[in-house]
Structure 1
Amino acid sequence: MLKNEDSSNTDLERGFDGPSIFGHPRGLMTLFFTEMWERFSYYGMRALLILFMTTAVVEGGLGFDDKTSGAIYGLYTMGVYLLALPGGWLADRLFGLKRSVWYGGIIIALGHFTMGLPGILSLFGEGHGNSLTLTPLDTTSFFLGLILIVVGTGLLKPNISSIVGQLYHEGSSKRDAGFSIFYMGINIGGFIAPIICSSFKEVDWHLGFGVAGFGMVLGLIQYKLTAGNLEGKGELAPAESPEEIASRKRLGLFTGITVVVIAALIFLMFQDVISINASAIAEASYTVIGIVTVLFFIYVIFFGGISKDEKRKVLAIAILLCFGALFWSGFEQAGSTLNLFAERFTDRTILGWEIPTGYFQSANSMFIIIFAPVFAALWVWLAKKHLEPSSPMKFAFGLILLGVGFLVMYFAAKIAASGEMAAPSWLMFTYLFHTFGELSLSPVGLSLTTKLAPKKFQGQMMGMWFISVALGNLVAGIIAGEASGGTEEAISQMPDQYMMIVMTVMGAGVLLLLISRPLRKLMGNVR
């Protein structure tokens, strides 16, 4: 039932201004569907990405080896999270949140259509179809499309969440419920996308990429048509002084120059003037991000001008982010290592029909939709009985559950190494345990970072959370290049590699349990 109540007292009671739908601001529905279609485009393409790179050229893929494909996958998923930092910064200072979401969505759609260009042209008789060799169009459109998607996601992803927060008054009791509804949109998009895009991929790889872009276009259309629901939200505050106007002009000029320089570098890469080694870049990025992270925390603790209590809390954040990065390095193998296992070593035939590999990528979102309310209710029930685990313990449970999922994969890999095909249930149980781990760790990590961060470093600490996720994604890609069973020797080593992951993440979980008490002392009054 739609309502439009003008009383300021009523607005105060409801926790938001303006017209509502189902007890929440109408703008929430606008953002819900925009984010749903953006996640549709992202997860739909991600389900195909490493499969496309490792598929032979004659079968329509790029024919890259596992190590190169894993490195590219890791760099791409790392870039998506890493560019959220400058994306949020530009929105706050130059574009405004609403325009950043709009521009980001357009760039994402262009990226998907660029990746799908060879397939689109083949429909009109202008493509070369499957060939024994790659053409410049194949590789150029692929890499350019990935770059555009990374840039567009960096603009859209952090800023659409910020607009959701602006829909509600400070301290509104409905804000958490609003975010829960918003995140349900993410998981609906993540659930349907791999199924739809993988189905189109069975016709042509590039059509799968193209339909992912079509989803983003649908999101943009409804975003523009319902933009009135966001009136007064996500706008850039007008410049109030000549100095501020001049500052924005300088920032605009600097941004323009940066875009031109990056475009020139990309052009030189495509012309082979600058040679690119994806594996070497991934290894270097891993080292650089690690060093920058350590230096940042050293600066904040020793030179940030914060109190002793805040220093202890920052140290707690640093420790937890290390464990968080380790979690993501395992969890994000869903789209790489586990996707390749589904393709190569899983019996996907049911009643004579072969399940497209990408369908398995819907499992995580499906399990989140089912079990997120269960976990939320569980924490509330435990809290009422004064038994709720502390945040570090929830982190530890997340790592241990991740390890249990990989323990399932150890036995599946033993079956594959024996020369037989594993049943789909092995992967499904792995995704189930990984989802339980995500529900234990991910929401807690976001909330805890905001609670522990010193006021003057709150935005930057959230940035460090994104960097930990980016680092985990990069490491996941690197691991995929080694643990995907691309050769006979690699197949025989797969069980040991999975067991190494099990021991690493479960060992980290146990270590975190052991240090949870001193860690809680660092956290002070924050649980």
Structure 2
Amino acid sequence: MKKEDQFIGKHNAPEDILEYEGPQLFGHPKGLMTLFFTEMWERFSYYGMRALLILFMTAPIASGGLGFDDQTSGAVYGLYSMAVYLLALPGGWVADRLIGLKKSVWYGGIIITIGHFTMALPGVFSLLSGTSAPEGQLAGWDLPSFFLGLILIVFGTGLLKPNISSIVGQLYPENSSKRDAGFSIFYMGINLGAFMAPIACSTLAIYDWHLGFGLAGFGMLMGLIQYKWTKKYLQGVGEPVVNSSKQEKQAYQRLLKRVWVILGLVVIVLALFFFQVIPLDPVALAGVSNTLIAIVALLFFGYVLIFGGLDSGQKKKVVVIMILFVFSAIFWSGFEQAGSSLNLFAERFTDRMVWGWEIPAGYFQSVNSIFIIIFAPFFGAMWVALARKKLEPSSPLKFSIGLIFLGIGFLVMYFAAKIAASGNLAAPSWLVITYLFHTFGELSLSPVGLSLTTKLAPKKFAGQMMGMWFLSIAMGNLIAGRIAGSASGGTSEALAEMPDQYMLIVYTVMGAGFVLMLISKPIRSLMGKVH
């Protein structure tokens, strides 16, 4: 059945709202459940591995880790989480121009699964053979599979993540009143996966780190199986562009050849790194990447403003996106400490003993998802109630509120770090309260940023402006990893300085929030009629 045949017009509403005519479940297309569980298992794999990543890198070789120092581990973590967001841009392009959304999700899931199982290989080999690498050589034995696994996960996530959300949107006609509810159900799948994964994967990692990575891969495999089994409910959506004419087919083949050439060059460069023909310094690479992202963003916005052919109103809106780009990067650079410095704090400086059993540090990575599930409906209802009373804060003001909540969370961590610096273990409640305030910040800022970008972006730059929003998140993730290298208390000197490091984050984040609050009215005037 063609996509356009799945919807019929209903004229008994104030405006023509199209309703879905295909298979339904609880009033929504059945395809939503296909995507719900695919995304749930993909997030299970991502957050399960993320809960272990920096802990595995910093763990001593004798305990099965890689034995990296904090700076190297933070840089690798930052580069990895940055790349996940950066590759969403070419991943969306590949789906739009070459293979379609559904195939992108399928192939992306396969690559992710292979990536996780690649990271699990050393542990699986040890388990099956009853042998292990020679003493003192475990890190070298692990490194190829570790980095290859990370690279595969990055490429697979770049293909899957942006395109599965696009398919959700295509399930509903443009004016459907159920679309927002459908996305809410879909995002619940994200948080369910993010909640379950750290607990499950961290439990297995007690016995072997690689078994935890393997469970993450098994989660993505489960997602692939149910995706293939129920893909019939996605008939007519997410299909590739049909090249009907001879010229279009020839252009498609030329484009495909160029993509294969680019992929070949990427493989060659990666091989040169793997065989150490080109030396790789993660700390230096992270610094260069940070500068490069800033330059790219500045050049792009400059080009759009000067040569984009925009009128004055559109230019003002682009300036607003530029301003929010900076504050978004600041927010995510703090928020994404969850998987790095805060994860290490849970491992090293938190009292995790309960009834004689030590809670795995990765369990704390589930706290944010629990709070999202609990408080997201309250925040949604609060904004609606304030809007009815004409008291709802403007979008820039919500941004500033998000930054201030984030800063309050790190202020809590300042006191926790003081306890750790005094030689005592901090109670788990310090981290839980920190994650609570960070969740409040996320609920204030994250949905607003995505929505506001779509509203402010000039039509001819709409896709590129959305790319810039993800670029700001990528930059924030990279900075988060770099901060973690100096704020994790890995040495006695670093431990003594840790409270001051957290207080510096408080000053930066809350200062940014208050600055944005002060300039929110001028920004609001630049936005025009957009709220």
1:116-154, CA deviations, whole angstroms, 9 ceiling, x for partnerless residues? 000011111165258322354410000000000000000
Q: Aligned letter for 1:185?
A: G
- Provide the residue aligned with 2:227 in structure 1: 223
Residues 98 and 241, structure 2, Cα contact 8 Å, conserved in 1: no
Provide the rounded CA distance (Å) in 1 between the counterparts of 2:317 and 2:134: 56
Q: Aligned letter for 2:456?
A: L
Provide the rounded CA distance (Å) in 2 between the counterparts of 1:525 and 1:126: 67
1:7-62, CA deviations, whole angstroms, 9 ceiling, x for partnerless residues? 93569756323111011000000000000000000000000000000000000000
- Provide the residue aligned with 1:521 in structure 2: 525
Q: Aligned letter for 1:212?
A: A
Which segment is superposed worse, 128-137 or 163-172?
A: 128-137
- Provide the residue aligned with 2:472 in structure 1: 468
Q: 67, 71, 94: which one pairs with 1:67?
A: 71
1:211-252, CA deviations, whole angstroms, 9 ceiling, x for partnerless residues? 000000000000000010000000012113323212211121
TM alignment of 1:403-418, pairs within 5 A: 403-418=407-422
Residues 73 and 336, structure 1, Cα contact 8 Å, conserved in 2: yes
- Provide the residue aligned with 1:306 in structure 2: 310
For residue 68 of structure 2, give the secondary structure of its aligned residue in structure 1: coil
Provide the rounded CA distance (Å) in 1 between the counterparts of 2:76 and 2:128: 30
Provide the rounded CA distance (Å) in 1 between the counterparts of 2:322 and 2:406: 21
Q: TM-score, normalised by structure 1?
A: 0.97
Residues 60 and 130, structure 1, Cα contact 8 Å, conserved in 2: no
Provide the rounded CA distance (Å) in 2 between the counterparts of 1:318 and 1:270: 37
Q: Aligned letter for 2:114?
A: L
Provide the rounded CA distance (Å) in 2 between the counterparts of 1:397 and 1:406: 14
Residues 9 and 19, structure 2, Cα contact 8 Å, conserved in 1: no
Provide the rounded CA distance (Å) in 2 between the counterparts of 1:372 and 1:137: 44
CA gap 1:159/1:514 in 2 versus in 1, 3 angstroms: same
Q: TM-score, normalised by structure 2?
A: 0.97
1:45 aligns with 2:46: no
- Provide the residue aligned with 1:238 in structure 2: 242
Q: 394, 408, 429: which one pairs with 1:390?
A: 394
1:120 aligns with 2:124: yes
Provide the rounded CA distance (Å) in 2 between the counterparts of 1:305 and 1:89: 24
- Provide the residue aligned with 2:488 in structure 1: 484
1:359 aligns with 2:367: no
Q: 207, 212, 217: which one pairs with 1:203?
A: 207
Provide the rounded CA distance (Å) in 2 between the counterparts of 1:490 and 1:413: 11
Residues 59 and 130, structure 1, Cα contact 8 Å, conserved in 2: no
- Provide the residue aligned with 1:439 in structure 2: 443
Q: Aligned letter for 1:164?
A: V
Residues 38 and 219, structure 1, Cα contact 8 Å, conserved in 2: yes
1:8 aligns with 2:2: no
For residue 262 of structure 1, give the secondary structure of its aligned residue in structure 2: helix
Q: Aligned letter for 1:279?
A: V
1:79-129, CA deviations, whole angstroms, 9 ceiling, x for partnerless residues? 000000000001000010000000000000000000000001111116525
Provide the rounded CA distance (Å) in 1 between the counterparts of 2:134 and 2:310: 61
- Provide the residue aligned with 1:424 in structure 2: 428
1:137-172, CA deviations, whole angstroms, 9 ceiling, x for partnerless residues? 410000000000000000000000000000001111
1:264-298, CA deviations, whole angstroms, 9 ceiling, x for partnerless residues? 22222121111100000000000000000000000
Residues 64 and 138, structure 2, Cα contact 8 Å, conserved in 1: no
Q: 30, 36, 40: which one pairs with 1:36?
A: 40
CA gap 1:130/1:207 in 2 versus in 1, 3 angstroms: farther
Identity of aligned residues (%): 67
1:503 aligns with 2:504: no
Provide the rounded CA distance (Å) in 2 between the counterparts of 1:524 and 1:13: 28
Provide the rounded CA distance (Å) in 1 between the counterparts of 2:229 and 2:144: 34
Total equivalences in the alignment: 523
1:377 aligns with 2:381: yes
Q: 155, 159, 162: which one pairs with 1:158?
A: 162
Residues 17 and 177, structure 2, Cα contact 8 Å, conserved in 1: no
CA gap 1:128/1:377 in 2 versus in 1, 3 angstroms: same
For residue 138 of structure 2, give the secondary structure of its aligned residue in structure 1: coil
Q: 186, 193, 198: which one pairs with 2:190?
A: 186
Gaps of 5+ in 1: none
Q: 56, 60, 71: which one pairs with 1:56?
A: 60
Provide the rounded CA distance (Å) in 2 between the counterparts of 1:436 and 1:363: 13
Q: Aligned letter for 1:8?
A: I
CA gap 1:253/1:386 in 2 versus in 1, 3 angstroms: same
Runs of 4+ more than 4 Å apart: 9-14
Q: 276, 296, 299: which one pairs with 1:292?
A: 296
Residues 60 and 131, structure 1, Cα contact 8 Å, conserved in 2: no
Residues 58 and 133, structure 1, Cα contact 8 Å, conserved in 2: no
Provide the rounded CA distance (Å) in 1 between the counterparts of 2:55 and 2:481: 13
Provide the rounded CA distance (Å) in 2 between the counterparts of 1:421 and 1:17: 59
Provide the rounded CA distance (Å) in 1 between the counterparts of 2:500 and 2:17: 58
User: Please, what is the CA RMSD of the aligned residues?
Assistant: 1.4
For residue 129 of structure 2, give the secondary structure of its aligned residue in structure 1: coil
Provide the rounded CA distance (Å) in 2 between the counterparts of 1:475 and 1:354: 31
For residue 15 of structure 1, give the secondary structure of its aligned residue in structure 2: strand
Provide the rounded CA distance (Å) in 1 between the counterparts of 2:466 and 2:209: 36
Q: 20, 24, 27: which one pairs with 2:28?
A: 24
Q: 122, 140, 146: which one pairs with 2:150?
A: 146
Which segment is superposed worse, 133-142 or 165-174?
A: 133-142
Provide the rounded CA distance (Å) in 1 between the counterparts of 2:331 and 2:348: 25
CA offset at residue 6 of structure 1? 8.4
Provide the rounded CA distance (Å) in 2 between the counterparts of 1:45 and 1:246: 42
- Provide the residue aligned with 1:328 in structure 2: 332
Q: Aligned letter for 2:229?
A: L
Q: 86, 89, 100: which one pairs with 1:85?
A: 89
